Amino acid sequence: MAMNYLQSVPKLKGRDNYDEWSFAAENLLVLEGMIHYIKPAVPGADIKIADDERTKAKLILTIDSGLYVHIKETKTSLELWTKLKNMFADSGLIVA
């Protein structure tokens, strides 16, 4: 069933579709019971390494392969999520 959900998440291509991708990816992780790996509710919560690796893998499968060069060094799903957010989320700044 997870694969059906995974197919519903658009591939992240960059800044142009980051908002849509992050919304869909977050909801995929909610359905899979993995949202706490990218949004820990309690500092120091019980993070199982194998489950975190599965969460990271699911996210990577939703990312265009052209972006892999930017994320290959990330170690955890939270680190991956944060890196992508810093790279592509609209900061609200207007560049003149």
pLDDT tens digits, 46-59: 678 889 999 999 99
Residues 17-33 as b/e (b if ≥16 CB within 10 A, e otherwise) read ebeebbebbeebbeebe
Query: Can you tell me which residue has the tokens 């909801």?
Result: 27
More confident residue, 92 or 24: 24
Residue (of 75, 70, 72) closest to 55 by Cα position:
75
pLDDT tens digits, 72-90: 999 999 999 999 999 999 7
Check residue 83 and give left, alpha or beta (phi > 0: left; psi -120 to 50: alpha): alpha
Q: What is the pLDDT averaged over residues 18-30?
A: 93
